[in-house]
Each structure stands twice: as C-alpha cells, then as structure tokens.
Structure 1
Amino acid sequence: MFSLQTMFGRGNQFYSLLEEAAQAAHDAATALHRMLRESDRAPALDAFKLARLREREASNKISQALVDSFITPIEREDIEALGSALYKIPKQIEKFADRYALALQQLEHIDFAPRAAMLEQAAGVVVKMVRLLPKMKLEPMKQLNDELRALENEADRLMLELYRDIYSGRLDAVQMFLLKEFFEILEKAIDRCREAGVVAYEIVLKNS
C-alpha cells in the first residue's frame, strides 16, 4: 500500500542529495587549501576532479529526482536554485587549481593559503546550513548566514588591500595581472559560497 509516509520519505532524499553536493564543494575547498599550504610540491589535481565529479553526479541525481518525484519537501524551484548554487562552488575552485598548476613558477612567491583558508571555512558553513534544512529552524540558520556574510566581508576587505599592492608600483605587469586574476577567482569562489548560503537561508525563511 502506497502511504503518505512513503511519499514524504522519498521526498526527503533531496536533503541527502543537497548535502552530498555541499560536502563535495567543501572537499574541493579543503583540497585547495592543502595544495596551497604545500606550495613546495607540484599541484595534484585529482582531488579537484573527484570533487567536481561528485558534485556533477549529485546535481544529475537531483535533476532526475525532480522528474521522478511527486512529493518534494520544499518547492522544486528552491531545490533547483540551491543545487545550482552548490554546483558552482567546486567549479570555481577547479578553475583556480587548473590555472595555478600552469602558472606555478610565476606564483611561487605569492601566499594564497590565507584566502584559501577563508574559502574552506565558508564552504564548511554552507555544509552546516544545508544539514540544517530539514529542521527548518530560523535562528540557527540566521547565525550561520551572518557568519557567512562576515567571511564575505572580510574577503572583500582583503581584496581592497590587494588592490593597493597591485597599484603600488612595486610589481611588474605580469605580477600585477596574475595577482589580480588569481585572487579574484578565490574571491568569486567565496561569493559562490555566500550565494548558496543565501538560498538556504531564504528557504528556511520561507518555510519556518
């Protein structure tokens, strides 16, 4: 006999799939931070490829589940929006890693690790927010949203400091270009985390 409990149980698979996607994004951020801390070694890109593969698989499962499922625990548009936001995080991180591997010799003197640590922290907050979704409790979600916003603001402040260095006249043209490009990729990755967090927060705001 097909019961409402069975229907809603199937609907809850979306929370698990969204958490898989969030965890893959966090794993990519962790791999990037580790790579940039170990700058004396040649970059290993396998971890980023694996995280992107996991993210892609989770995204495909979410899309298929939306087609197959009659019941969803939250609005379909919200599931799609959060899934899309999560998908963009490891994509941006892999972009940095691929380019970093190509430009390693020109970047040896630049320490990206502190910014990568912020990205890892932001991706970790996103995982916590996605895990909180089934409970639909506004206050803890708001606290995490505020934490994510503070990280984004700090990243923006660090970018302003970077621009002062870029336009100080101490760097040659190649150094200026590389600094600007790579730090902007990292900043955009943090922005992607923020965007995913906003979607999660708005879902709870709507349903609490």
Structure 2
Amino acid sequence: MFSLQTIFGSGKQFYELLDAAAVSAHDSAKALHEMLDPASGDKSLDAIKLARHHQREATNRISQALVDSFITPIEREDIEELRVALYKISKQVERFADRYTFAAHRLEGVDFAPRAAMLEKATQIVLDMVRELPKLKLETIKSLDDRLHAIETEADRLLLELYRELYSGDLDGARMFLLKEFFEILEKAIDRCRDAGAIVYQVALKNS
C-alpha cells in the first residue's frame, strides 16, 4: 500500500530550492564585494546580474512548488517568508550596483569594500542557517543567528558614525546625499539577512 508521502512526495525539494535561493544571495554579495574591492580588476556587473537571475529562478520555482505540492516540510507561510527575505537580499545588492555604476565618479576615495565584506559574511551565515533547516538543531541555528545579530549591530554602529560625519557640515550637499544613500542600501541588505536568519530561527523554535 502506498502512503500519502509516496503519492504526494515528502516536500524535501523545498530545502533544495531554499538552498539555491540562499546560494544566489551569497553569490550576489560576494560579486559585489569583488566589484568594490580596490584590488580587484573586475568592475563589471555580470556576476551580480547572473546571481540575481539565479535568484529569480529559485524564487519562481519555490512559488510554483508551493502551488503544486500537498506536503511541505515546514509551514507554507514560513517558506514564503524566507523566500521573500532571500529575494530581497540580492535585490538590494543589484540596487546598489546599478546606482554605483552611474555615481562612481562622484564617490572617489570612498571605500565601500569593508561594508560589502560584512554583507558577504552575513549572507554566508544565512546560507549556513538555511542548510541547517532540515536538521532543525536549535543550538546550532541559535549560534549562527547570534553571529548574524552581531554583524547587524556592528553595521548599525558604523551607520551612526557615518551620520555623525555627514551632519558635521564638512561635506557638500551632493556628496552627503550619495554617501547616505549608498551606505543605507548596504545597511538594508544586511537587515534583510537578519530578517532571513530570524525566520530560520523561528522555524527551528517551532519545530525543534
């Protein structure tokens, strides 16, 4: 006799699809870091655009799988929330990169690479958390979430320092606007990483 699981599947494909979405988010952050690294010779958007394309593909496949599948390994709402959070990470990366190509000549001497490195590290932690989902080991996921929170806290602190510098009155209006906009985009990308991590942690809490 066939069980319902045999007929409808176990829903484990969702873990693979979420992994693909998390990999794409990490790839986009890594490509941005390389683009902004002064030592890098590659300043093109190709790698970022490719990662974004893969992110869209994974996102669409998750949405379709939610329609087609009777069984999911975790709640559908959690899968959807995590799908959206991962999508928004690479969306912020692409937003930064597209605008940076137009404004780079106005931002000479500004080193965004350290902040992009923080984002790359945050996306790696998110990827690690997504890969821990099938195991639902609360202690491991909590440890990763704590590391993600520490990165977000440091990013918030650095943004406050930037505001202090911007409002000191030593910068012209146009440069102040650009610095504020670009650093805030990177900050928002890190916040989206924190959102994704919080979803994974809540799933682990509910299912452990």
TM-score (norm 1): 0.95
Query: Which residue of the partner structure matches residue 111 of structure 1?
Result: 111
Residue 142 of structure 1, CA deviation: 0.4
Whole-Å Cα distance in 1 between the matches of residues 93 and 7 of structure 2? 37
Instruction: Please list the CA deviations of residues 166-207 of structure 1 after superposition, one character each: whole Å capped at 9, or x if unmatched.
Output: 012221111101110000000000000000000011011110
CA 1:104/1:40 → structure 2, altered by over 3 Å: closer, same or farther?
A: farther
Whole-Å Cα distance in 1 between the matches of residues 24 and 172 of structure 2? 37
Residue 8 of structure 1, CA deviation: 7.5
Whole-Å Cα distance in 2 between the matches of residues 205 and 74 of structure 1? 12
Residue 109 of structure 1, CA deviation: 1.0
Instruction: Please list the CA deviations of residues 131-156 of structure 1 after superposition, one character each: whole Å capped at 9, or x if unmatched.
Output: 00000110000001111001000000
Amino acid at match of 1:76: R
Residue 165 of structure 1, CA deviation: 1.2
TM-score (norm 2): 0.95
Q: Which runs of 5+ in 2 are unaligned?
A: none
Instruction: Please list the CA deviations of residues 37-68 of structure 1 after superposition, one character each: whole Å capped at 9, or x if unmatched.
Output: 03775731111111111111101111111111
Q: Which runs of 5+ in 1 are unaligned?
A: none
CA 1:93/1:180 → structure 2, altered by over 3 Å: closer, same or farther?
A: same
Whole-Å Cα distance in 1 between the matches of residues 140 and 10 of structure 2? 26
Amino acid at match of 1:128: D
CA 1:49/1:109 → structure 2, altered by over 3 Å: closer, same or farther?
A: same
Whole-Å Cα distance in 1 between the matches of residues 42 and 131 of structure 2? 35
Query: Which residue of the partner structure matches residue 162 of structure 2?
Result: 162
Amino acid at match of 1:180: K
Query: Which residue of the partner structure matches residue 207 of structure 1?
Result: 207
CA 1:9/1:41 → structure 2, altered by over 3 Å: closer, same or farther?
A: same
Whole-Å Cα distance in 2 between the matches of residues 166 and 198 of structure 1? 31
Whole-Å Cα distance in 1 between the matches of residues 88 and 188 of structure 2? 10
Whole-Å Cα distance in 1 between the matches of residues 39 and 180 of structure 2? 19
8 Å CA contact 2:9, 2:71 repeated in 1: no
How many matched pairs? 208
Q: 3-state DSSP class of the match of 1:135?
A: coil
Query: Which residue of the partner structure matches residue 137 of structure 1?
Result: 137
After the TM superposition, which residues 122-201 of structure 1 pair with which residues of structure 2 at under 5 Å, given as runs? 122-201=122-201
8 Å CA contact 2:26, 2:120 repeated in 1: yes
Bigger drift between 38-47 and 60-69 goes to 38-47
Whole-Å Cα distance in 2 between the matches of residues 174 and 41 of structure 1? 28
Bigger drift between 4-13 and 125-134 goes to 4-13
Identical aligned residues as a percent: 67
8 Å CA contact 2:21, 2:87 repeated in 1: yes
8 Å CA contact 1:28, 1:93 repeated in 2: yes
Q: 3-state DSSP class of the match of 2:133?
A: helix
Residue 10 of structure 1, CA deviation: 4.2
